[in-house]
Amino acid sequence: MRDQQAEHEAAARRAARFITERAAEPITVADMADVAGYSPFHFTRMFAARVHVTPNRFLAGVRFHRAKRLLLAGDDAVVDVCQEVGFTSPGTFTRRFREDVGVSPSGLRRLADRLSVTTPAPFALYPQGITEADLAAGRPRPAVGMLGTVEGTVRLPPALRPGPGPEPLVWIGCYPTPFPVGLPVTGLLREGEGGFRLPVLDRAPWLLATAVPATAEPAEHLAGPRPAVGRHPVPLTGPATVRLELGDPEPWGFPLLTALPSLMPDRTHPTRRTP
């Protein structure tokens, strides 16, 4: 069994590396399966089991992550970025980008402009009908899909642990899937390590977290190459106490697509960054 798991992990790594390196090309699942050494049917099942996402979904994620970086690095037209990352239909690209990232391609650029003059401040985002009092009580509220409360602590990797200067920014949220696509249904932003409390929701059982330095540039907030990440290993189905350890992402891990700063409340006060 261990030998088979090691074989599957190695095959998933090979396929993920191939997808990442050739994402702009018109590659197919059959191409990926050849690299991994499996039939397309068995490859798709194996890859999804190891990476928690189908091969084609992984390919789209890699393309969108590269698109984010291109959009933030220059002023190329959206249609040019679309073609550069391997999409042929600008309309499909824009629609799916908005679904997966949480903002449109042009909206991502506007968000970067906002981050250049704004420092994100701690806040919490709860679904309509759920309050802090509900979280403190911890009781299920079936009418709003609340199964209880998750209370936990988040720990940062050594490179982000407290030191001179402001605390790192830690985003914690609950998603419908085990990978960060679209906007979380509930979540919060806190400074540094410590405790958190969120509602457990039937429609968003996966608890994920990421962190960036408080002094990060807009591109690192929105399209960092390898942000510190953490995920609770199983979906939440009721009240829970958890500990999230953030670390480097797996080499074959799904990219962090969500433009989390888009969740910042409008009342966040702009603060000019120092040179």
* pLDDT of residue 161 exceeding 80: no
Q: Measured between alpha carbons, how far is 185 from 108 in angstroms, rounded to an integer?
A: 20
Q: Give the lowest-confidence range in 58-67, 222-231, 237-246.
A: 222-231
DSSP-derived secondary structure letter, 12: H
Which run of H or of E encompasses 229?
strand 228-231
Confidence bin at 267 (pLDDT 50/70/90) = low
Mean pLDDT across the chain, nearest whole number?
91
Mean pLDDT of the region 168-183: 94
* pLDDT of residue 162 exceeding 70: no
Closest CA to 242 of 212, 210, 200: 200
Instruction: Give every CB contact of residue 34 below 8 A, 6+ residues apart in sequence.
Output: none
- Four-point Cα dihedral 93, 98, 103, 105, nearest 10: 0
Domains 2-114 and 118-263 share a fold: no
Instruction: Give every CB contact of residue 217 below 8 A, 6+ residues apart in sequence.
Output: none
Closest CA to 107 of 67, 139, 138, 141: 67
Could you give phi then psi for residue 158, rounded to 5 degrees? -50, -40
* pLDDT of residue 208 exceeding 90: yes
| Max CA distance (Å), the chain | 56
Q: Are 73 and 227 in contact (CB under 8 A)?
A: no
pLDDT of amino acid 250: 77
- Where are the chain's structural domains? 2-114, 118-263
Confidence bin at 159 (pLDDT 50/70/90) = confident
pLDDT tens digits, residue range 78-130? 999 999 999 999 999 999 999 999 999 999 999 999 999 988 899 999 999 99
Q: Measured between alpha carbons, how far is 79 from 69 in angstroms, rounded to an integer?
A: 15
Whether the model pTM is above 0.85: yes
CATH number of 2-114: 1.10.10.60
Q: Are 12 and 51 in contact (CB under 8 A)?
A: yes
For strand 186-191 and strand 123-125, is the pairing parallel, antiparallel, or unpaired? antiparallel
Confidence bin at 5 (pLDDT 50/70/90) = confident
Domain 118-263 CATH (choose: 1.20.1340, 1.10.150, 1.20.1180, 2.60.40) = 2.60.40
* pLDDT of residue 165 exceeding 90: no
